[in-house]
Structure 1
């Protein structure tokens, strides 16, 4: 059972990160768009990505990950790498929520932030991903 949970957890993480990487990229294009038709198209794309893919993937990631921890609490409770990973996942969740708030602000005003801002904003989850992967694979503490 644990291996199924782990496999589906990894699938959920991949889906979540795909959305986390793509949504700010849509913000870049949205901020660069000049015509109403394009702006409306980006609003729809961003909403479907956030609600239809990112939210379910985030919830599954948390559900499956916590299920594995609960099932093996005696092992995981002393694993420092897991505690650090959970902190990074909390930071990723905060980033996710901030993306949702930015999505709503962009919907109201496509020039809310510049495309350059969104390009830099898009880099934040890369560092979280690097940290999570290093912690899970190397288990340094």
Structure 2
């Protein structure tokens, strides 16, 4: 069995792993900005709650989101490099790829906000975090439409 045959036979496993990792990563990307909303809005009212929010945010990022993002990328790249699965003359792999890169950038942005919150240097309001919560939704729509319709 050559490498191409091996990759093609492992494709269903990579795809399954990719889907599970994406679901976990997206759950974190939806939830973390919401945690930031509560952190910012409740910190003014209940000072003792800040360490609890910091712990929740840190664990979500380190233990769920980061590993899920890495597995998403590894399984996704495995599928991309499986011969015959992607027609690079189509637009959809490019829109999906750009959206995944943007999603990764958003993840990095959230990590920076987490550091700011931990250092007591937050500059965003609860309303701004609520608006940021829509970013992963928009990117998810682009990714899903790209993959399903394969324009």
Q: Which of the five TM-score ranges fits, normalised by the shorter chain?
A: over 0.9
1:88 touches 1:131 (CA, 8 Å); kept in 2?
Answer: yes
Which of 119, 124, 129 is equivalent to 1:118?
Answer: 129
Q: d(CA) in 2 for partners of 1:75 and 1:47?
A: 36
After TM superposition, the runs of 4+ consecutive aligned structure 1 residues lying more than 4 A away are none
| Unmatched tracts of structure 1, length 5 or more | none
Q: d(CA) in 2 for partners of 1:25 and 1:104?
A: 16
1:29 touches 1:115 (CA, 8 Å); kept in 2?
Answer: yes
Return the offset for 1:72. 2.1
Counterpart position of 2:67: 56
Aligned length: 140
Computed over aligned residues only, the root mean square deviation of the Cα atoms, in angstroms, reads 1.5
Report which stretch shifted further, 90-99 or 80-89: 80-89
Which of 51, 64, 68 is equivalent to 1:40?
Answer: 51
Counterpart position of 1:14: 23
Q: For each residue in 1:50-93, what CA deviation from the matched residue of structure 2 results, as whole angstroms up to 9, or x when unmatched?
A: 01100000000000000111122674433321121000000000
Q: d(CA) in 1 for partners of 2:123 and 2:35?
A: 14
Q: d(CA) in 1 for partners of 2:99 and 2:17?
A: 20
Return the offset for 1:128. 0.2
Give the secondary-structure state (helix, strand or coil) at the position aligned to 1:79: coil
Distance 1:102 1:112, change over 3 A: same
Counterpart position of 1:85: 96
Higher Cα radius of gyration:
2
Counterpart position of 2:111: 100
TM-score with structure 2 setting the length: 0.87
1:22-37 alignment, distance < 5 Å? 22-33=31-42, 34-37=45-48
Q: d(CA) in 1 for partners of 2:83 and 2:133?
A: 34
Return the offset for 1:111. 5.3
| Unmatched tracts of structure 2, length 5 or more | 1-9
